[in-house]
Structure 1
Amino acid sequence: MATQLQGKVALVTGAASGIGLASSQMLVAAGARVVLADRDEAALASVCKQLGTAAIPLSVDLLDPSACAALVARTLEAAGQIDILHANAGTYVGGELIDADSAAIDRMLNLNVNVVMKNVHDVLPHMIARKTGDIIVTSSLAAHFPTPWEPVYASSKWAINCFVQTVRRQVFKHGIRVGSVSPGPVISALLADWPEEKLKEAKEAGSLIEPSEVADVIEFMLTRHRGLTIRDVVLMPTNFDL
């Protein structure tokens, strides 16, 4: 594994924790240099210290439109190229729609949908000019069936799933692969909003995924020969349906 992505440069958003952190760790272990973008400056510093010189911290609030617009340019300034974009940053709103806070809905839709679209839009000219690139978007199992306890979150992932699959069909002619990874519930900060009873039940049933398991799938997607695109991978705990 140590040389599979040697010489590649990856940009990972939401990289200081959860799936983004596991993805960054995997990419460094596979030989890539990684620009870790996150708004948590202290967590970034700690993570990059552990990962070593192949990890480049980039403190950014993607919900700030000007900061979001500067992400690709700042990454290119820091690392010179972008071979891989893992658009991972996201947040969660669950529960009854009637109980949801409107500001939280706006924030989630901005981060889960608008920011992803902007990040992909901004990196495409660079990848098209180089005639190569990989874009992986963190989606969700919720993008594939209507999850009754998370109508807002699931809707954001349905939207981004459509975005991934339509953009893929536009840019494959430029040597760019676009795919999404759609995990079931992952042990991460996003589960903090789950009802306590539901979280306890899921843990006891063994129906949660480790972030490293998602990173393993992303590695598989990135290391296929260029003539093969893994369009979408849905992964879930075996006990998910219990």
Structure 2
Amino acid sequence: MEKRMAGHFSKKIAVITGGASGIGLATAEALIAEGAMVVLVDRDQAALKKETDRLGGRALAQVTDLLDPDSCAAMVPEILGKTGQIDILHCNAGSYIGGDLIETTSAAIDRMLNLNINAVIKNVHDVIPHMTERGAGDIIVTCSIAGHAAIGWEPVYSASKWSMTSFVQIMRRQLSQKGIRVGQVSPGPVVSALLADWPEENLKKARENGSLIEPSDVAEAIVFMLSRPRNITIRDIVVLPSNFDI
């Protein structure tokens, strides 16, 4: 089994969107344990204060509403003003719509696609000049198994994650010669607030048969990706509960 030295990410600055809960928060905890300074990005100011207070001096809060164009555009410059550098960008914020397409609304569709697709593309766009100038960086996107399979009960969400699979793999090719690694992590169902819109019968079945994983399981995979030698890029890790039947 691989052993990492304590402080593997010392002097590294990691930015995590959707950082006040779920996978984002678990990843922040894992990176801090490895020595990183982490900027938690979220629109929930109260949750950010609670978690940064709990995590201590190696966690900084960045209040950003990724659905607000001005707030989204200000994110990277504001963080650089606080930290001076960004070594890792983890685009993790997202939302979920499940069920038949006809059951949702146009407004909900717009909100989810803007958060799951547009905000990610804009965040990556904004950090590229900084990472290119430094000649190094890591970009990780939280995708989903839904970005690899046609999940019958989540047509909008699955479409957004297929889009991210395409975007991440194109950017991996565009940036590979600039010292910037780009990859994605593709979890199956994770215990988080995103599952609130799951059809109740699917959620109940998943709970009963152990077909859910914890945010920390995904965070562990992300730390593995980021800790590879610079000549290695992990383009995608699919993390599934063993009983998830897809």
Q: TM-score range by the shorter chain?
A: over 0.9
The residue that corresponds to 1:118 in the other structure is 122
The residue that corresponds to 1:169 in the other structure is 173
Deviations 1:171-191 (A, max 9, x none): 110000000000000000000
Q: What is the letter of the counterpart of residue 92 of structure 2?
A: N
Deviations 1:187-208 (A, max 9, x none): 0000011122221110111000
Equivalent of 2:39 in 35, 38, 42:
35
- Counterpart CA distance in 2 for 1:183 and 1:143 is 10
The residue that corresponds to 2:162 in the other structure is 158
The residue that corresponds to 1:102 in the other structure is 106
Matched, 1:45 2:87: no
Cα distance, 1:78 vs. partner?
1.1
- Counterpart CA distance in 2 for 1:67 and 1:26 is 27
Matched, 1:9 2:20: no
Q: What is the letter of the counterpart of residue 50 of structure 1?
A: R
- Counterpart CA distance in 2 for 1:26 and 1:121 is 26
- Counterpart CA distance in 1 for 2:164 and 2:57 is 33
The residue that corresponds to 1:58 in the other structure is 62
Matched, 1:211 2:215: yes
Cα distance, 1:230 vs. partner?
0.1
The residue that corresponds to 2:28 in the other structure is 24
Q: Structure 1 unaligned runs (5+)?
A: none
Deviations 1:61-110 (A, max 9, x none): 11000000010001101111000000000000110001111100000000
- Counterpart CA distance in 1 for 2:193 and 2:51 is 16
Q: TM-score, normalised to structure 2's length?
A: 0.97
Q: What is the letter of the counterpart of residue 205 of structure 2?
A: E
- Counterpart CA distance in 1 for 2:8 and 2:35 is 7
Residue 70 of structure 1: SS of its match in structure 2?
helix
- Counterpart CA distance in 2 for 1:74 and 1:210 is 31
Cα distance, 1:163 vs. partner?
0.3
Residue 34 of structure 1: SS of its match in structure 2?
strand
Residue 115 of structure 2: SS of its match in structure 1?
helix
Identity over aligned pairs, percent: 61
The residue that corresponds to 1:78 in the other structure is 82
- Counterpart CA distance in 2 for 1:238 and 1:96 is 26
- Counterpart CA distance in 2 for 1:17 and 1:123 is 23
Q: TM-score, normalised to structure 1's length?
A: 0.99
- Counterpart CA distance in 1 for 2:84 and 2:121 is 22
Residue 149 of structure 2: SS of its match in structure 1?
coil
The residue that corresponds to 2:233 in the other structure is 229
Cα distance, 1:27 vs. partner?
1.0
RMSD (Å) for aligned C-alpha atoms: 0.8
Residue 131 of structure 2: SS of its match in structure 1?
helix
Q: Structure 2 unaligned runs (5+)?
A: none
Cα distance, 1:60 vs. partner?
1.1
